[in-house]
Amino acid sequence: SQTIHQWPATLVQPVGSPLSLECTVEGTSNPNLYWYRQAAGRGLQLLFYSVGIGQISSEVPQNLSASRPQDRQFILSSKKLLLSDSGFYLCAWSVLMSAGGAFFGQGTRLTVV
C-alpha cells in the first residue's frame, strides 16, 4: 500500500532563517507530487506540483521553492523565511486519474517568529 511521510510535524523558525521540509512517498512509482499551504482562515492553496523528477510548476509566486531530486521525494525550501510564511504545509501525491484524487501527508505546522 502507498504511504506518504512528511516531516517535521511542527517547526518554529525565526524570520530570515532557511527552511527545508521533506516529503517522501512509498509504494508507488512516478507519482504526481504537490505542496499545499493552509494559512489561518483560508483554504488549502496549491503552491507547487511536480509530474516528474526535476519538473516543478509553481502556482503562486512567493518566497518558497520546491525541488524533486528523486521520483518519490519532494522538498519545499526557502532561503529566508518571512512572517507571512507561517501556516500548515501539506504534501500530497496522486497517480494518473485515480478516483481518490490526491492523498495528503500529515502536514507540518510552521510558525515563523
Partner 1 sequence: DQQVKQNSPSLSVQEGRISILNCDYTNSMFDYFLWYKKYPAEGPTFLISISSIKDKNEDGRFTVFLNKSAKHLSLHIVPSQPGDSAVYFCAATVTYSGAGSYQLTFGKGTKLSVIP
Q: How far apart are CA 66 and CA 50, in angstroms?
A: 9
The span of 11-19, 37-45, 60-68, 74-82 binding partner 1 (CB under 8 A) equals 37-45
Q: How far apart are CA 88 and CA 65, in angstroms?
A: 16
102 binds partner 1 (CB under 8 A): yes
Could you give the angle at the alpha carbon of 12 between the alpha carbons of 58 and 78, nearest 5°?
30
56 binds partner 1 (CB under 8 A): no
In the set 14, 41, 61, 69, which binds partner 1 (CB under 8 A)?
A: 41
Q: Are 78 and 63 in contact (CB under 8 A)?
A: yes
90 binds partner 1 (CB under 8 A): yes
104 binds partner 1 (CB under 8 A): yes
| Strand, helix or coil for residue 99 | coil
Would you put residue 54 in left (φ > 0), alpha (ψ -120 to 50) or beta?
left
In the set 11, 44, 53, 56, which binds partner 1 (CB under 8 A)?
A: 44
Cell of 101: 484524487
Count of residues interacting with partner 1 (CB under 8 A): 29
Nearer to partner 1, 8 or 18 (CB): 8
Residues that bind partner 1 (CB under 8 A): 6, 9, 32, 34, 36, 41-46, 49, 51, 59, 90, 92, 94, 96-97, 99-107, 109
